[in-house]
Chain A
Amino acid sequence: MSEPLVKVRNLKIGATVYPPGEKPHDIEIVHGVDFDLQPGKVLGLIGESGAGKSTIGLASMAYGRGGVKITGGEVWINGRDVLKSKLRDVRRLRGAEVTYVSQSAAASFNPAKKIMEQVIEAAVEQGKFSKKDAEARARTLFAKLGLPDPDNIGERYPHQVSGGQLQRCMTALALCPEPDLVVFDEPTTALDVTTQIEVLMAIKEAIRDTGVAALYITHDLAVVAQVSDDIMVLRHGNTVEYGSVDQIINNPQEDYTKALVSVRSIHHEEKAPTSEPVLSVRNITARYKGTNFDVLHNVNVDLHPGQTLAVVGESGSGKSTLARVITGLLPPRDGEIEFAGRKLSADLAGRSQEDLRELQMIYQMADVAMNPRQTVGTIIGRPLEFYFGMRGAEKRKRILELLDEIELGESFIDRYPAELSGGQKQRVCIARALAAKPKMIICDEVTSALDPLVADGILKLLLELQKIENVAYLFITHDLATVRAISDNIAVMYQGKVQRYGGKTEVLSPPFDDYTDLLLSSVPEMRLGWLEEVIANRKMESAGN
């Protein structure tokens, strides 16, 4: 085997933290990581937030973000230890031998400069190409990455192209200087699933065609399995498991890796609809104040007691607007809603206390869904007090019961939200909703801000509570894996309309309409070769048309 392009030995990274009320101090966030990367190969770095994966990626460019400092170890690139190099030599390395693609291309492009200028800047400044050659190369890359109008797109400003296109421009920016290594830092995380697959295909083909090596950083194992040769699983700054992609996906050794591979494997049998739905949405059409277009067109869905209706769609599909209409925050222009056998007032102000109690909501960002100045006890206790007039010992007893249901102990009652982890916060929000003894809960992307294993725990809890309390869920999400895991019925939304609606099995079985087909085939699957299949299928289809 030839000398590796990248050789990392015992890499240790520290950061200065500023905990409130305490003196700032240094902590170690990466505790000695080793890996090798051969030229032209791709290593996937995977882990939850806080695992240190992005930090390691940036360390390969001898760069520490914010208060991050590389405290020990070696990073050899092309036979040089970059951690011991002078700043001048590191600058020769950055942008020439190693380049970087960030999660948010929208923020990473300078808003005041044209795209072309920024794409070729490193190549020209580092003396790799003349301006003319670099521009020609950039145009070739634009074409290869499937960008529209590759000859002229460089003349636009970053805000003039879409998010998915900009992410591809960022990839062109990284590939333009013909680097030996590209660090991809969650390049598709911020994108919708149908856009994600386009960018993913473009990146994969570009890596293959240019023969560049890559570090691919993500929290999504299914994604990384499609593009990597090797995978390193990280947790809390330590290596959990490091091996070939085949070994990690098909034969994981560590429990943590096994859990990651089997994530979203919750199995939930579809329930048959009962006679009377708890919620009937009839012909709802809605638009926001001050705009002149409808975000919802003639939407009809039913939700049955004790069941789950998943409303799935990408950003802009109108799924969250539907939730606002049902809660009464956005009175619709047309149509009506029937809830528990009665007609609901369109406006929040016109609803009875009973309506409000029986229809609860759980939010995506648990952090901002709880008042930071209230304790868990106050947060869960308020609905008990407000709806049932509970006081004192009786209230406390019920709060403890609810804490027990969400698998948190008695000690949580006096804690503030800031003292809880992301998963714990979401559990408290679930308890607050359950405290009202609702017939139905709207769950708005409740797991999408959480790490996969934590999200799994929340989904399992929701399913269990559904059995005990016989509560119905209207589950709004963009994540089809979640939909598969928990729904009984599915409504696929696209551009404000219900595109496909019915029982889970029916909706997820062919024949599909075009959009549902695109959506379903875009969700990364946890198996090798999936992306190649999709690429091949889509090429065949477009050739067939």
Chain B
Amino acid sequence: MHPVVKLVSQRLALGLLLLFAASALIFLGTLILPGDVAQSILGQSATPEALANLREELGLNRPALVRYFDWLFSALQGDLGIALTNGQDIAESIGKRLGNTLFLAFWAAVISVPLAIFLGLLAVRYRDRWPDKLISAVTLASISIPEFLIGYLLIYFVAVQMGLFSSVAMINDSMSLFEKLNAIALPVAVLTLVVLAHMMRMTRAAILNVMQSAYIETAELKGLSTFHVIARHAFPNAIAPIVNVVMLNLAYLVVGVVVIEVVFVYPGMGQYLVDHVSKRDVPVVQACGLIFAAVYILLNMIADIVAILSNPRLRHPK
């Protein structure tokens, strides 16, 4: 078998295995509590009879392993169970919200990825001069403040003081795309700021790493123009590290979304998750956790696969 095919399929298998193990871990994570779901729902003052009845109703008396596989197989078939708090179908509630979350993350990515790569290149081009220093100062500042505070800073200065955009990002189906974009302008800005810093810094490091290779010196000593050196010699070797940077930051974005949705009261997965954590609605938390973990594992897997595919040593074996 061609080594690339072998490595990629190994990585895919590892991704699946990881996902399976992560689901077990999430299920296990909800078992380490003192008391159980029935206790959580009914509270400390519940009578033993009521608890026993509810346990029976929820199937909590069955062994954990049976419940886990039951849960996993239903989840694989799209059945995520029923929310304890309001009895609604979880899959249905999530469907809509997942779409909203992806909408938000998509626009944040569309803006931040090209911008970060451009600014990263700029930082390399003007290394150790003021644009580079400014960029690293902004980076330091933005990784020193939690996302939600960046959100409130923007709300305070942009929405309240300047009266631009809305401080809550409510969207619904009846809105046009433009109205939706207007509504999510601020959360997108916050997410962009948050991932931009990391992405820029990592892009800068990745390109600098390539630019310091001996083959770049060879290209320069061939009398090629700077553009030519970068486009033909640096770029092909920088793709993999940059894709890696982008994927890692998209994974980071997925998590950032959770907090930002709460700040802007945005009807997405993140808010749904946080709400139900406070309400101790375990089935919902498990379902959301599984979906977030799956996206995260998927993005990390893509990063690795791109790295395998772009490695000339693997693509053209001896």
Contacts and interface: CB of A to CB of B under 8 A. Distances in A.
Contacts of B237: 110-112
A337 to B, nearest CB: 37
B220 A121 contact: no
Given A125-B228, A160-B318, A109 B223 contact: no
B222 A104 contact: no
Nearest to B240: A112
B218 A112 contact: no
Interface in B201-240: 213-215, 217-225, 228, 233, 236-237
A108 B215 contact: yes
A108 B223 contact: no
A108 B316 contact: no
Interface in A88-144: 90-96, 99-100, 102, 104, 107-113, 118, 121-122, 125-126
B236 A108 contact: no
Interface in B295-318: 312-313, 316, 318
Given A102-B214, A159-B318, A113 B223 contact: no
Interface in A66-96: 90-96
Nearest to B233: A110
Given A94-B221, A111-B313, 10 more contacts: A90-B223, A93-B223, A95-B223, A96-B223, A100-B221, A110-B219, A110-B233, A111-B237, A156-B316, A159-B316
Interface SS majority for chain B = helix
Contacts of A96: 223
A32 B221 CA distance: 24
A65 B312 contact: no
Contacts of A61: 221
25 contacts: A63-B221, A91-B225, A93-B223, A94-B222, A95-B222, A100-B218, A102-B214, A107-B213, A108-B217, A108-B218, A109-B218, A110-B215, A110-B218, A110-B237, A111-B215, A111-B237, A111-B312, A112-B237, A121-B222, A122-B223, A122-B224, A125-B222, A156-B316, A159-B313, A160-B318
A92 B221 CA distance: 10
Contacts of B218: 100, 102, 108-110, 118, 173
B278 to A, nearest CB: 50
Contact of A94 (B214, B223, B312): B223
A112 B215 CA distance: 10
Interface string B93-136: 00000000000000000000000000000000000000000000
B209 to A, nearest CB: 13
Interface of A: 61, 63, 65, 90-96, 99-100, 102, 104, 107-113, 118, 121-122, 125-126, 156-157, 159-160, 173
B215 A99 contact: no
Contacts of B233: 110, 113
Contacts of A104: 214
A92 B225 CA distance: 10
Contacts of A108: 214-215, 217-218
A102 B221 CA distance: 11
Contact of B223 (A65, A102, A126, A156): A126
B312 A112 contact: yes
A317 to B, nearest CB: 22
Interface string B232-272: 01001100000000000000000000000000000000000
Contacts of A112: 236-237, 312
Interface residues of B, number: 20
A113 B236 contact: yes
A251 B220 CA distance: 40
Nearest to A100: B221
A18 to B, nearest CB: 12
A466 B224 CA distance: 57
Contact of B217 (A65, A92, A157): A65
A220 to B, nearest CB: 21
Contacts of A94: 220-223
Nearest to B221: A100
Contacts of B236: 110, 112-113
A391 to B, nearest CB: 49
Given A159-B312, A160-B318, A107 B223 contact: no
A90 B316 CA distance: 36
A188 B40 CA distance: 74
Contacts of B215: 107-111
Given A102-B218, A104-B214, A112-B236, A157 B316 contact: yes
B223 A125 contact: yes
A458 B51 CA distance: 83
B215 to A, nearest CB: 4
A125 B224 contact: yes
B279 to A, nearest CB: 52
Nearest to B218: A108
A61 to B, nearest CB: 6
A-B pairs, top 9 by smallest CB distance, nearest first, are A94-B223, A95-B222, A95-B223, A107-B214, A122-B222, A91-B223, A112-B236, A110-B215, A108-B218
Contacts of B225: 91
Interface string B74-110: 0000000000000000000000000000000000000
Nearest to A90: B223
B255 to A, nearest CB: 33
B220 to A, nearest CB: 7
Contacts of B217: 65, 102, 108
A118 B224 CA distance: 12
A95 B233 CA distance: 16
B243 to A, nearest CB: 14
A156 B219 CA distance: 19
B312 to A, nearest CB: 5
Contacts of B219: 110, 121
Contacts of B318: 159-160
Q: Which of B223, B225, B236, B312 has the most CB of A within 10 A?
A: B223
Q: Which of B213, B222, B318 has the most CB of A within 10 A?
A: B222
Contacts of A99: 221-222
A138 B173 CA distance: 65
Q: Which of A63, A112, A122, A156 has the most CB of B within 10 A?
A: A112
A360 B218 CA distance: 44
Contacts of B224: 91, 95, 121-122, 125
Contacts of A65: 217
Nearest to B316: A157
Interface in B169-190: none
Contacts of A107: 213-215
A157 B222 contact: no
Given A108-B214, A112-B236, A112-B237, A95 B221 contact: yes
Nearest to A160: B318
Contacts of B228: 125
B8 to A, nearest CB: 19
A529 to B, nearest CB: 33
Nearest to A123: B222
Contacts of A90: 223
Contacts of A95: 221-224
A263 to B, nearest CB: 29
Contacts of A110: 215, 218-219, 233, 236-237
Nearest to B310: A112
B108 to A, nearest CB: 31
A112 B213 CA distance: 13
A63 B217 CA distance: 10
A102 to B, nearest CB: 6
A144 B240 CA distance: 37
A63 B218 CA distance: 11
